[in-house]
Amino acid sequence: MTKKITMTTKTDAELVKILADTRVALRTERFSAAGSRAKESNAPRKLRATIARALTEQRARELAVGKTA
């Protein structure tokens, strides 16, 4: 079993890269599942959760910068 990606230890650039890569993977998963039976039916849910984690961390950082400034 793999460890969950900890978003708090990632830099801003890494978060942007994770978002871009995960969104591409989700798009590919959607279109490949449209034509045939999906190998892992839970994959889109996991990808959406990863996207949500990254966006949440980005927003938390924006708010933290706003409070200090």
pLDDT in tens, 8-45: 899 999 999 999 999 999 999 988 877 776 678 899 99
Q: 18-44 in b/e burial notation, b at 16+ Cβ within 10 A?
A: bbeebeebbeebeeeeeeeeeeeeeee
pLDDT at 2: 47
Single pTM value for the model: 0.82
Sequence ranges of the domains in the chain:
10-68
pLDDT at 1: 42
When pLDDT is averaged across residues 34-59 and rounded to a whole number, the result is 88
pLDDT at 38: 63
Give the span between the Cα atoms of 59 and 61, in whole angstroms.
5
